[in-house]
Amino acid sequence: MKAPTRALIVEDIESWVFTLTRAARRAGASEIVVCENLEGVRGALRIARFDIAILDVGLDPDDDVNADGIRALEMIREIDGGGTRCVLVTGWQGGDRMDLQAAAQRKHGVDWAYMKEKYEAHQVIAKLTELLEQAAERRLSVTTPMASLGADMQAWRFEDLLLSAVSPHGGVQTLYSAVSRLVSSAIPLLARRPEMPMEKGPDGVLAGVYWSRALATAVAVGLASTDAWPYEDENDVPVELSRFLPAGVTPDLIERVREHNVLGWLWELPGLDRDSFSV
């Protein structure tokens, strides 16, 4: 199951917001967040990760030298691990525009750039579709050691915690394999509670909640022996996770993995603010 595809549109002109939103929808974005200024971008990045960002270079039509779109790009790159596909849009004329885009490409990585006066809907939609597909592939191609889940914990303490919970259903190698496959689309991770990154709930499932800088969102990992897993429906979640979620919010299942006798699930947790994490 794929995670939802999210697009961030940073644009202050209403007609262009409509045009870019329509293009992102037709390219396959399932959720779109629109920000008109840097403060809006800052708030959006605290609660969600984005597969693609479409950034107008200048966010003040009365200021010819405004470059807040570049500052938005910098904010994204500070937390996304380079995973967000970024597109620069500008209506500026002259060499200054080209110099600015070239500098942004060298420093931050820009996947595409185009001028508003040369906008062509079919071309833009085709490119956004390609970039969304690249973003999904990138999330699933990264690997990480299981120790990343423990954040500030020593790896052996985390291993001991997991082994005591699922033993004798799986050894260290089984756990490494299961967890690494699960979190390959959600790294690097920092535990919400580094001193206890995984807790066994009353339902018998070992669960932990983490902040992913790569996805810029909260994720949850659940592990249990396959014969103890109490859920059959993919919309069900361990009871331990419900206390982390705002009322009415349903986690998005990203992946389900089975290794020998250990089953793990990975969820994205919408609606959790990054400021609620201790790291």
The pLDDT of residue 140 is above 80: no
The pLDDT of residue 141 is above 60: no
**162-194: pLDDT as tens digits:** 777 776 566 667 777 777 777 766 666 777 777
* Predicted pLDDT of residue 233: 63
Please give the full DSSP string across 124-155, using - where no structure is assigned: HHHHHHHHHHHHHHHHHH----GGGGGTTS-H
Where residue 136 falls among pLDDT bands split at 50, 70, 90?
Answer: low
Q: What percent of the chain has pLDDT over 70?
A: 70
Half-sphere exposure of 173 (CA within 13 A, CB side): 1
The pLDDT of residue 95 is above 60: no
Whole-angstrom distance, CA of residue 250 vs CA of residue 15: 33
Structure tokens that stand for 253 in this block:
């299942």
Q: What is the CA radius of gyration of the chain?
A: 21
The structure's pTM equals: 0.55
Q: Where are the chain's structural domains?
A: 6-141, 146-276
* Predicted pLDDT of residue 150: 57
The domain defined by 6-141 folds into Rossmann fold (3.40.50)
**47-79: pLDDT as tens digits:** 677 889 999 988 876 666 678 888 899 888 877
